[in-house]
Structure 1
Amino acid sequence: MDITTLLTPERIAHAQEMSSRKRVFERLAELLASAQDGLSAEVIFDALTNREKLGSTALGNGVALPHTSIVIPEARGALLLLEEGLKMDAPDKKPVQVFMAILVPADKASDFSPCITELASILLQKPLLKQLYHYREPADILNYFNGLLLPTPQYYATALAA
């Protein structure tokens, strides 16, 4: 799976401040529902909050990766950047400012575990948060993310040598 296809500029947003996890998840659901398949924000919100009840998706370093499986044809993501962090159950107790929500097809959920693990490791990079806030336009943020997610020339050299 190509994780660079998860985001579109339409599913990237900034917010000054959000008062609660509920409001953050509502906004993420709105962004994710913008696809053309008719999946409602309410259904997505319920799926994300039900998954969150199983355990916090806050990773630490100001990042959360809410994710769930749902009946959709292909995976999609949304990115919400908060100017003021939101307290969640993060391992490091730091407020969360970067929310990267992922929906994966229910019939292929296990196939996406490596993708979610890879995203988590990328999102936990310390310089990420500072870099993200250099960009204001969704298209610029998307280009930055794609640069992080695309395999490096070293990756190709290693793959060709194998």
Structure 2
Amino acid sequence: MDITTLLTPERIAHAQEMSSRKRVFERLAELLASAQDGLSAEVIFDALTNREKLGSTALGNGVALPHTSIVIPEARGALLLLEEGLKMDAPDKKPVQVFMAILVPADKASDFSPCITELASILLQKPLLEQLYHYREPADILTYFNGLLLPTPQYYATALAA
């Protein structure tokens, strides 16, 4: 998987604040459902919240990486940036402002573990939050984000070994 293909400008959004984790996950589900393949936001919301019940996907440093597997042909992601962070069960107890949600095909979920791990390490870079907030347009955010997520030699080695 080329992780840079997860996002589209239509699946990137800003919000002033969200009142709850439920509202955040509803918004992420709406963004992820925008792929026009018949998958409803309700199905995506249920899948994301069921995964979250297994353990918080808040990574710390203001970042959460909600992810789940679902019956879809290819992986997709959505990025939601909050001006006012949301309290979650983050290891560092900091409010979450960056939510990067990922859906992966159910029949290939294990193939995506290295990519999700790589994405988590990129998202945890301290200057990421400040840099993302310099951009207001989804296309600009996507360009910046794609620059961060260019496949590494380790990625290619993993992909070739699979």
TM class by shorter chain equals over 0.9
Secondary structure, in 3 states, of the residue corresponding to 2:68?
A: strand
Instruction: Tell me the CA shift for residue 151 of structure 1.
Output: 3.8
Distance change in 2, residues 1:160/1:42 (3 Å): closer
How big is each residue's C-alpha offset from its partner over 1:13-66, in whole Å with a ceiling of 9 and x where there is no partner?
000000000000000000000002110000000000000000000000000000
- Is the CA contact (8 Å cut-off) linking 2:7 and 2:77 kept in structure 1? yes
User: What CA RMSD, in Å, does the superposition of the two structures yield over aligned residues?
Assistant: 2.9
Paired-residue identity, %: 99
Q: Which residue number corresponds to residue 104 of structure 1?
A: 104
Distance change in 2, residues 1:73/1:140 (3 Å): same
Distance change in 2, residues 1:156/1:28 (3 Å): closer
Secondary structure, in 3 states, of the residue corresponding to 1:99?
A: strand
Poorly superposed stretches of 4+, deviation over 2 Å: 151-162
Q: Which residue number corresponds to residue 94 of structure 2?
A: 94
More deviation in 35-44 or 147-156? 147-156
Distance change in 2, residues 1:107/1:154 (3 Å): closer
Q: Does 1:160 align with 2:160?
A: yes
For 1:160 and 1:104, locate their aligned partners in 2 and report how far apart those are by CA, in whole Å: 19
Secondary structure, in 3 states, of the residue corresponding to 1:134?
A: coil
Secondary structure, in 3 states, of the residue corresponding to 1:94?
A: coil
Distance change in 2, residues 1:157/1:54 (3 Å): closer
Distance change in 2, residues 1:155/1:106 (3 Å): closer
Instruction: Tell me the CA shift for residue 119 of structure 1.
Output: 0.3
For 2:63 and 2:5, locate their aligned partners in 1 and report how far apart those are by CA, in whole Å: 20
- Is the CA contact (8 Å cut-off) linking 2:2 and 2:151 kept in structure 1? no
Instruction: Tell me the CA shift for residue 160 of structure 1.
Output: 14
Larger radius of gyration, structure 1 or 2? 1
- Is the CA contact (8 Å cut-off) linking 2:3 and 2:151 kept in structure 1? no
